[in-house]
Amino acid sequence: MAALSLKKTVNSGGLKKWRRTETMTAYGFTLPTVILLLGFSLGPAAYAFFLSGVSWNLLNHMHWVGLHNYGVIFHMPLFWTSVKNSVIFAAVVMPVQTVIAMVFAVIMNQNLPARPLYRLAFFFPSISSSAVASVMFMWIFNKLGLLNSFLSVIHISGPNWIGNPHFALSAIMILNIWSTAGYFMVVFLAGLQAIPQNMYEAAAIDGASGFQRFLRITVPLLRPSTFFIVIMGMIGTLQMFDQSFIISGGTGGPLNSTLTVSLLIYQEIFSYGHVGYGAAATVFLFVLVLGLTLLINRWLGKPVEY
Amino acid sequence: MVGSQSEKVWNRVSRGIYLLILTAGALVMLVPFLWTLSTSLKSLGQALVYPPQWIPHPVVWQNFVKTWNIVPMGHWFLNSTLVSVSVVVGNVVLDSMAGYALARISFRGRSLVFFGIISMLMIPFQSIMLPVYIILRTLGLINSYAGLILPQLVSAMGVFLMRQAFLNVPGEVEESAIIDGASRWRIFWQISLPMVVPTVLTLALMMFMGSWNNFLLPLLVANNQTFWTLPLGVVMFQQQYYTNWPYLMAAAVMATVPVTILFLVLQKWFIQGISTTGLK
């Protein structure tokens, strides 16, 4: 009806004019967003590729060195230390937070009393800023702090978490899992609502145990949520910066044990003025994240078949 | 039916176990906050007692007053508020406009713009900090409010969220408004936007949290104390007063209170926000 009367009101010349107005309006509506995103998101990403080919310390004259910077960072032991730290960090934190989030979401989905209160408690850590959470945990991880006093109850003499190179990265892992698991749990909870209840009923009639139902129905049907959480978790953990910076005071110490790739990039520009090296490490990080994203996409990205 | 009887017992036992696990998990989540609050009210002497004590005695409210006075907490609060409110307003207006155009108007280049924005969903800020810093420096935006605000003023995620919301608005209302000769701007502002208020609220909350808690951008932009926001201020305070834990915890509490209140009041929208952006 509406479309018909629309054609009647505007004759063909008017229609053309109307189309043009529409297009201009659309450009007007999207222009500020496009400019800002180009300037502060897509543009910088492209700019990083260019900068990775220059020698520049922000003050001197920039000159082109081609692939030289990549050669330098690939021969830099510190660079590989940072890659190792970031990859270990991601390889531990991402799976652990995903599993914790999924298990707690499934438990919370069991029609238990006081569910909103529990959800509130689990979600609460993700509203705190990385800065505040890091400062809070530095106090908890103190040699004579809360965590070690809990450990001493079970007769474990806790280390100086933050000052010991063997434990500093683990401390940041604990902090990270604590602060993001609840957020992802809420994502899983939303995914669980989408699973048809009759599948569980049918499985129960067939005699499947609770654990079997979890493995055979819940886990496969949650794949869209899992996919999202694994991708977001992987990107977030591989680029971890704030917690390392704050807990190590910007050094990545002790003994570079908390130096991540992002922190190395920061140091290359702000401590050493090596823009080119930092940009080459940036491009390396892009490629790493993109490669892993494609890999995960092949593994988890297929649509769910009921 | 012996089977159903034992099943009932088993059911009750398993629910008990579930509740136990949930309670333990919830405690792990909340203990760090409670410990922070407890420490913030202790004297320095009591804070350093080992094994730790939970109940502050005496309760030292002065920690908050002193912390507020030895560092310009009030100024950082103002900075954080100014930046976060600007970021929220910018995102609500600009993301909605772009999302509306992408959902509702057919125009040349629409899919190019859409896929361009989608591709930016995958670029987190940490990975582009170096080029962003250089761009901000070139534009002369280091140590300025514009430098703290502009990079956060629109978000690809926000545009995507708003586009999805506008796609779900029925088209008939708009069509009759078009026939009546209303301009797109009026249709957007007076008809369509009011219909997606829940999504706008979700977007506003997400952006407020993201901006209020942002650490890296202020670290890059604000070398000068005048432009520090709360997270940056708290961290710098920590590096200076790293042994005075009651003061540090008082600062942590003060920095967390505004978002906590916001969260408790608007909890429903937070959950909805995560559910929609997380699932799409």
Residue B25 at interface with chain A, using a CB cutoff of 8 Å: yes
B34 touches chain A (CB under 8 A): no
State residue A273 phi and psi, 5-degree precision: 65, 30
Chains A and B form CB pairs within 8 A to the count of 273
A chain contacts of residue B48, beta-carbon cutoff 8 Å: 144
The complex scores an ipTM of: 0.90
Is the distance from CB of A203 to CB of A216 less than 8 angstroms?
yes
Q: Closest chain A residue to B158 measured between Cα atoms?
A: A33
Asked if B37 reaches chain A (Cβ–Cβ under 8 Å), the answer is: no
How many whole angstroms separate alpha carbon A209 and alpha carbon B117?
A: 45
Residues 6+ apart with CB under 8 A from B76: B228, B229, B230, B232, B233
- In this complex, the residue of A112, A152, A246 whose CB is nearest that of residue B19 is A112
3-state secondary structure chain A: CHHHHHHHHCCHHHHHHHHHHHHHHHHHHHHHHHHHHHHHHHHHHHHHHHHCCEECCCCCCCEECCCHHHHHHHCCHHHHHHHHHHHHHHHHHHHHHHHHHHHHHHHHCCCCCCHHHHHHHHHHHHHCCHHHHHHHHHHHCCCCCHHHHHHHHCCCCCCCCCCCCCCHHHHHHHHHHHHHHHHHHHHHHHHHHCCCHHHHHHHHHCCCCHHHHHHHHHHHHCHHHHHHHHHHHHHHHHCCCHHHHHHCCCCCCCCCCCCCHHHHHHHHHHCCCCHHHHHHHHHHHHHHHHHHHHHHHHHHCCCCCC
Q: With CA atoms as reference, report the closest residue to A42 among B99, B218, B135, B94.
A: B135
pLDDT, tens digit, 9 for 90 and up, residues A188-235 = 988 888 888 888 888 888 888 878 888 888 888 888 889 889 999 999
User: With contact defined as beta carbons under 8 Å apart, do A79 and A281 qualify?
Assistant: yes
* pLDDT, mean of residues B13-22: 90
Contact A29 B239 (CB under 8 A): no
Task: Give the angle subtended at the CA of B242 by the CAs of B236 and B245, to the nearest 5°.
Answer: 115
Question: Residue B142, SS3?
Answer: coil
Mean pLDDT, residues B17-30: 94
pLDDT at A5: 46
Neighbours of B144 (CB within 10 A): 16
Q: What is the pLDDT of residue A300?
A: 82
Select the residue of B21, B28, B259 nearest A107 (Cβ to Cβ): B21
Nearest to B234 among A33, A107, A132 (CB): A132
> CA A191 to CA A227: how far, in whole Å?
11
| Closest chain A residue to the Cα of B210, Cα to Cα | A129
Which residue, chain included where needed, has tokens 């939970």?
B54
Task: Find the CB nearest B101 among A29, A104, A139.
Answer: A29
Which pLDDT value is given to residue A4?
Answer: 45
How far A278 CA sits from the closest chain B CA (Å)?
7
| Segment A96-148, tens digit of pLDDT | 999 999 999 999 988 888 888 898 899 999 889 999 999 999 999 998 889 99
Q: How close is the nearest chain B Cα to the Cα of A166, in Å?
A: 22
- CA–centroid distance for A113 within its chain: 32
Mean pLDDT of A279-289: 94
Q: Please give the pLDDT value at position A306.
A: 59
- Sign of the C-alpha dihedral, residues A282, A90, B231, A43? positive
Residues A113 and B16: beta-carbon distance below 8 Å: no
Radius of gyration of chain A, Cα coordinates, nearest whole angstrom: 26
Q: Which residues contact B218 (CB under 8 A, 6 or more apart)?
A: B148, B227, B228, B229, B231, B232
Q: Is B16 on the interface with A (CB under 8 A)?
A: no
| Chain B residues 146-205 within an 8 A CB cutoff of chain A | 150-151, 153-154, 156, 159, 172, 175-176, 178-179, 183-185, 188
Residues whose CB is less than 8 angstroms from the CB of residue A158 and which lie 6 or more positions away in sequence, other chains included: A143, A147, A148, A151, A152
CB contact at 8 A, A156 and A167: no
pLDDT range class, residue A305, cuts 50, 70, 90: low
- What's the pLDDT score for residue A12? 65
- In sequence order, the β-bridge partners of residue A63 are A55
Question: Please, what is the average pLDDT of chain A?
Answer: 89
Q: Which of A51-65, A291-305, B111-125 has the lowest mean pLDDT?
A: A291-305
Name the token pair of B254: 């003060």
Does residue B151 have a pLDDT over 50? yes
Whole-number Å distance between alpha carbons of A81 and A268? 14
State yes or no: pLDDT of A19 exceeds 80. Answer: yes
Q: Cα separation of B277 and B205, whole Å? A: 13
pTM of the predicted model as reported, rounded to 2 decimal places: 0.90
Task: Phi first, then psi: give them for residue A11, nearest 5 degrees.
Answer: -75, 175
Q: Does B143 touch chain A (CB under 8 A)?
A: no
- DSSP-based three-state secondary structure for B83: helix
Does any CB of chain A come closer than 8 Å to the CB of residue B45?
no
d(C-alpha B263, C-alpha A124), whole Å: 9
Q: Among candidates A244, A236, A238, which has minimal Cα distance to A86?
A: A238
Q: Which of B212, B215, B197, B225 is nearest to B262 (CA)?
A: B212
Mean pLDDT of B204-231: 93
B279: CB partners within 8 A, 6+ apart: A187, A190, A191, A194, A224, A225, A228
**C-alpha distances in angstroms, A155 versus A150, A225, B190?**
9, 40, 66
Q: What proportion of chain B, given as a percentage, has pLDDT over 90?
A: 59
Which among A40, A225, A266 has the least Cβ separation from residue B132?
A40
Check CB contact under 8 Å for A37 and B137: no
Nearest CA in chain B to A100: B25
| Euclidean distance between the first and the last CA atom of chain A, given in angstroms as a whole number | 39
- Whole-angstrom distance, CA of residue B27 vs CA of residue A298: 38
Bridge-partner residues for A55, per DSSP?
Answer: A63
- Rounded to the nearest angstrom, the minimum Cα separation between A93 and chain B is 16
